[in-house]
Amino acid sequence: MTYHEVPNSIRITLIILTILSFTPQLHTLYTTKSSTGISIGYILSHLLVATEHLTKLTYMMINVPEAAAGQFIHDPINPGDWLNFLQTLTTWILFLTLFITSLYLRPPSHNPRPYITTYTLILLISLLPELIDPFLRFPHEGYQEAFVATHTILLSPIATFLAGFAVCLQAGQSKIHGTDSALSMTGLAAQAVVFGLVAASWPFRIAYREAWDPLHLGAYFGHAWAGVDYGVLGVVQGVLVLWVGWRRWRGVDGDGVGDGVEEREALLGRA
């Protein structure tokens, strides 16, 4: 089966839309000076997904491009591959910015150390080795093969799971705080749409070593992991929009009790 790759103009547009989709949440944090109601674990889970993506793209695009030539990236690497890398790098920077900002503006009672420690450890076994490899030149035959195999077979599925599990973390936080939350509904809706578009475009923006068949057995480990993760991120943001929006529309407070005017008047009437 043949396919046509998306033009680079669409890739550039999606990068710009990705940046814009984070703007409402970052603006809300800036204006409220608080991250109350936002689960740090939820943001950290999405940051871990972005870190895993950037780690593998750095391996394939910069450190060992010959290992993936013709599979996921083109041989030789073309501008579309670099735009895919820029999409991944942009997403990572935005999630990292959101993570740092949310930690800085956290409620005083929240201890940031577990989140900082967790992400530091993840960096030490993922992105950091790939960033220092061009300077230290680790032996590729042994180290790099074991490195990419671990990330492809073990850590990619974990990243996908975390992307989906994050909805539970944020839903719990939103249930506690209700309408008293710095979570931006506009930002969630924008990210749901943009991540969905990136996921839909991903099968048409990479190279395939064999005949194009994005649904064949093993496709996830070979080339579909990024598209799947973006799709899960989009679904998570969409679910949160519906769930949090429904609670706010119903006027449910942090304890799950409706606080509408009618209810208060009914209680006073029976007094």
Per-residue pLDDT at 221 = 76
In the predicted structure, residue 271 carries a pLDDT above the cut 70: no
Which two structure tokens, joined as six digits, stand for 95?
Answer: 């999630």
Question: Quick one: average pLDDT of 1-23?
Answer: 90
- Quick one: which of 6, 1, 49, 7 has its CA closest to 202? 6
Per-residue pLDDT at 211 = 59
Between the alpha carbon of residue 174 and those of residues 163, 194, 223, 245, the distances in Å are 18, 23, 35, 10
Q: Determine the residue type at 255.
A: D
Per-residue pLDDT at 254 = 53
Between the alpha carbon of residue 58 and those of residues 27, 78, 226, the distances in Å are 30, 15, 14
Every domain of the chain and the residues it spans: 8-270
As a whole-number percent, the residues of the chain with pLDDT over 70 amount to: 80
Q: Whole-model pTM? A: 0.86
In the predicted structure, residue 227 carries a pLDDT above the cut 60: yes
Residue 212 pLDDT grade (very low, low, confident, very high; cuts 50, 70, 90): low
Q: What is the C-alpha R_g of the chain?
A: 21
**In this predicted model, which residue has the larger pLDDT, 270 or 90?**
90
Q: Determine the residue type at 127.
A: L
Q: From the centroid of its chain, how far is CA 181?
A: 21
Q: Which residues of 214-243 are buried (b: 16+ CB within 10 A; e: fewer)?
A: beeeebbebbbbbbbbbbbbbbbbbbbbee
Q: Are 84 and 206 in contact (CB under 8 A)?
A: yes
Question: Which secondary structure element, helix H or strand E, spans residue 128, and what is its range?
Answer: helix 127-136
Worst-scoring range by mean pLDDT, 86-90, 238-242, 267-271?
A: 267-271
